[in-house]
Amino acid sequence: MATIAFGSDHAGFELKAHLMARLAAAGHEIIDHGTNSGESVDYPEFCAAAARSVRDGSADIGIVLGGSGQGEQLAANKVRGVRAALCNCLYTARMAREHNNANVLSIGARVVGVGLAEEIVDLFLSTPFEGGRHARRVDQISALEEEF
């Protein structure tokens, strides 16, 4: 089982609560960085906190949620060592893990329904990194962080 760090804005709050309960029931350890209601909030700190948990090793994977998932992904990607992927379909979830070794999943709660979100999360968690030529590319992405 994995330790999963969550962060969301108000638009992602209900889906976050649902996914956290589902994953906890399956035996995963959950770290909730907020938000804790549907009240309007600014999301960057919640999503960066989830990403920091992945970077510092207290979480294996991060999941960030918002209306579209776009801003949440951007905030998470500002944390060095994080490869956050916006995945609103099964194909992008699989590719994000297989080819990019993504360690944070972003989902748009206003884009996908609960059932599809569950499938995306399950696929993201169960798909291993393929390595090989993809490892070289992930290393090149990591090297870019050193430039800036």
33 annotated active-site: no
pLDDT of residue 148: 80
Which one is catalytic: 14, 33, 72, 118?
72
DSSP 41-75: ---HHHHHHHHHHHHTTS-SEEEEEESSSHHHHHH
Please, which residues bridge with residue 107 across strands?
Answer: 65
Q: What is the pTM of this model?
A: 0.97
Q: Is 99 among the catalytic positions?
A: yes
Q: Does domain 3-147 have CATH number 3.90.420.10?
A: no
What's the rounded Cα separation, in Å, for the pair 144 and 39? 37
Residue type, 46: F
Retrieve residue 9's tokens. 């804005």
Q: What does the pLDDT profile of the chain (148 residues) look like in tens digits?
A: 999 999 999 999 999 999 999 999 999 999 999 999 999 999 999 999 999 999 999 999 999 999 999 999 999 999 999 999 999 999 999 999 999 999 999 999 999 999 999 999 999 999 999 999 999 999 999 999 888 8
Give the separation between CA 56 and CA 118, rounded to whole angstroms.
26
Q: Spot the catalytic one: 99, 119, 130, 147.
A: 99
Tens-place pLDDT, residues 50-78:
999 999 999 999 999 999 999 999 999 99
Q: DSSP code of 105?
A: E
